[in-house]
Structure 1
Amino acid sequence: MCNLSSKFSCADFTFPLLPHYKVLQLIKLIGIDAVDIGLFEGRSHHFPSDISKNPTKEGIRLVKDLKEIGLEPADVFLQTGEEPNIAATNSPDKNTRKNNRTTFLKTLEFTKTLGCKHITGLPGVFHEKQTTQDDWKIACEENHWRVEKAKEFNITYAIEAHVGSILPDAISTLKFIKECPEITLTLDYGHFIYQGQTNKSVHPLIKHTSHFHARGGAKGKLQTSVKDNKIDFKAIALHLKQNKYSGFTCMEYVHVDWEGCNKTDNISETIRLHNLLKQLVYSE
């Protein structure tokens, strides 16, 4: 009996110090057969601005690498700015939002060429010179537009509620889902547990989840080893099963100089977490 989707992927941005082809090889060597592709402006193997110049050509090039290594694409994670508050989805600047829309359309072309069915984006942030109501309204409008455009490509669009965003907890996230029809989630418990929220408070988000990010986390620590982890993956597995979750579970350790996310051995912890989650998948 499976308690969790047995489809596992690993983020390519888990290993930013290696050339991309070697990252893909490493993911395969770890025993994972799918990859999440990060498109983070200024800080990933592939930048959205570069992909946008010729998304079909870039997609074909990456498909070749994936086929050679034996990986399938699970998700394309788009961040149009180097940080969430730069070129945010709900930027108050109209030209920025226009550019973001153009980038998103190019990302859809790239994702379709890859044969991938899922895109993750960020919901938006609060801006100092903008009212919270306007920030919220623009975020709803822009993310709903993305949902509708993605549907035209037969692609599911999801947002990741995260620390520092307009969606810092489950209550605000559920409200946003209600006001932004058909939006789904790429769910990472770490952003909630880090802030001292409980696993139980996050469980209601699972039924809206189309992609799942897994890594160790604890209060005050956005990323931890599996040994120090306080995210209740056993309970999560049961809730995912109850909600008939069929998406990918992505091993998403990251290596960035932010909130201590450069202090884990990403190879070892990815293997440990993958083994733990496989046990939950195949446990009776």
Structure 2
Amino acid sequence: MRLASADFTWPGLRPEFVFDLIAELGLDGVSMAFYGGEGGTPRTPQLIAQDPERWGERVAGELAQRGLGAADAFCVLSAQLAPLAVNHPDPAERAAGDALFEPFTRFARRAGSTGITLLPGLVFGGEPWSDALERAAEGLKRRVEVARAAGLRCSVEPHIVSTHPYAGSVIDTPEKVHALLERVPGLELTLDYGHFNVQGIPDREVEPLLAHARHVHVRGGARGLVQTKFADNVTDVGRILDVLAREGYDGWVEIEYVHDERPGCSDCDPIQEIQRFRDFIRAHERAAGRTQETT
């Protein structure tokens, strides 16, 4: 089981410094996020699109220099989420998003990632959920095909947007996730139990989704909190690892911590919590007789 951390855990630091930090933490790879627009990351999808091959070679070199792998490439075209969303009601917005996605696949391939994570879209205004779902399915069918043409797998992360007031994405419950997967052949999941646990949805209802996982996020979870410390975690991470092994999962496990003002996120020291989960996962895998892969 290869372990990674997200570079967006430390948004104010240079990407190269973050890569150094992740290597210092003894992890195997980096889950790289690219957020566009206001509040985005230093390296945006719009910047990448100007010369995707050159950026891919640069990032691949930065990772190789530190002995790290490209665990994932997370493409968020706008940090505000609604602009350029894959299921935006405006066809022009959807087309602009499609135009940015194709060069991003060339970048991700050159950088060494085997897949791309996308957000699944939103429910806009007071529209019926079914309308938002159908637009998301149509848009994601196109993205899956473009990714496949580049030799990449494509997944979406079921997620919520906020807790107070509550706002979800188009797939914020297991039932809604299954509905989308049924409509988009080849679409996989980037799965984070935390987006369900925060709503009070128990692990047992999330577990069937592991069969569709391309990439997995792990962090402390609890009802009402976006994330928790390792000591307060209620998510059964050991069982997640065991089910993944049974399913023949060959992807990465990303220990994802952030530090912001959302419930639970300002109470955690990302470095300490990443270390605690790193040590737990590796000890669990050794006890289960499963060897720890390295890059």
CA contact (8 A) 1:13 1:45 kept: no
State the partner residue of 1:100. Answer: 97
Partners of 2:14 and 2:223 lie apart in 1 by 33
Aligned partner of 1:197: which letter? I
1:99-118 equivalences under 5 Å are 99-118=96-115
Partners of 2:40 and 2:227 lie apart in 1 by 19
More displaced 10-residue stretch of structure 1: 87-96 or 38-47: 38-47
| Percent pairwise identity | 32
Deviation at 1:260, TM superposition (A): 4.2
Q: Pick from 234, 237, 242 the counterpart of residue 238 of structure 1.
A: 242
State the partner residue of 1:270. Answer: 274
CA contact (8 A) 1:89 1:142 kept: yes
Partners of 2:184 and 2:255 lie apart in 1 by 28
Aligned partner of 1:146: which letter? R
Partners of 2:99 and 2:264 lie apart in 1 by 34
CA contact (8 A) 2:217 2:255 kept: yes
Aligned partner of 1:91: which letter? H
CA contact (8 A) 2:226 2:262 kept: no
More displaced 10-residue stretch of structure 1: 146-155 or 236-245: 236-245
Partners of 2:41 and 2:255 lie apart in 1 by 17
State the partner residue of 2:212. Answer: 208
Partners of 2:263 and 2:121 lie apart in 1 by 20
Partners of 2:45 and 2:150 lie apart in 1 by 18
Partners of 1:92 and 1:119 lie apart in 2 by 23
CA contact (8 A) 1:16 1:255 kept: no
State the partner residue of 1:39. Answer: 34
Partners of 2:147 and 2:75 lie apart in 1 by 13
State the partner residue of 1:217. Answer: 221
1:13-162 equivalences under 5 Å are 13-41=8-36, 42-128=39-125, 130-162=127-159
Aligned partner of 2:142: which letter? W
Aligned partner of 2:145: which letter? E
Deviation at 1:129, TM superposition (A): 5.3
Deviation at 1:143, TM superposition (A): 0.7
CA contact (8 A) 2:40 2:78 kept: no
Structure 1 unaligned regions, length at least 5:
1-5
Q: TM-score, normalized by length of structure 2?
A: 0.91
Deviation at 1:241, TM superposition (A): 1.6
CA contact (8 A) 1:8 1:33 kept: yes
For 1:184-222, what per-residue CA distance to the aligned partner results, in whole angstroms no more than 9, with x for missing partners?
000000000000000101000000001001111110001
Partners of 2:135 and 2:155 lie apart in 1 by 17
Partners of 1:227 and 1:122 lie apart in 2 by 29
State the partner residue of 1:3. Answer: none
Deviation at 1:277, TM superposition (A): 1.0
Classify the secondary structure of the residue corresponding to 2:191.
strand
CA contact (8 A) 2:83 2:93 kept: no
Classify the secondary structure of the residue corresponding to 1:84.
coil
Classify the secondary structure of the residue corresponding to 2:231.
coil
Classify the secondary structure of the residue corresponding to 1:250.
strand
Report which structure shows greater RCO (CA 8 Å, sep ≥6).
1
Deviation at 1:10, TM superposition (A): 1.0
Establish whether residue 165 from structure 1 lines up as the match of residue 169 from structure 2: yes
Deviation at 1:70, TM superposition (A): 1.5
Q: TM-score, normalized by length of structure 1?
A: 0.95
Structure 2 unaligned regions, length at least 5:
161-167, 289-295
Partners of 1:83 and 1:260 lie apart in 2 by 21
Partners of 2:217 and 2:146 lie apart in 1 by 24
More displaced 10-residue stretch of structure 1: 95-104 or 13-22: 13-22
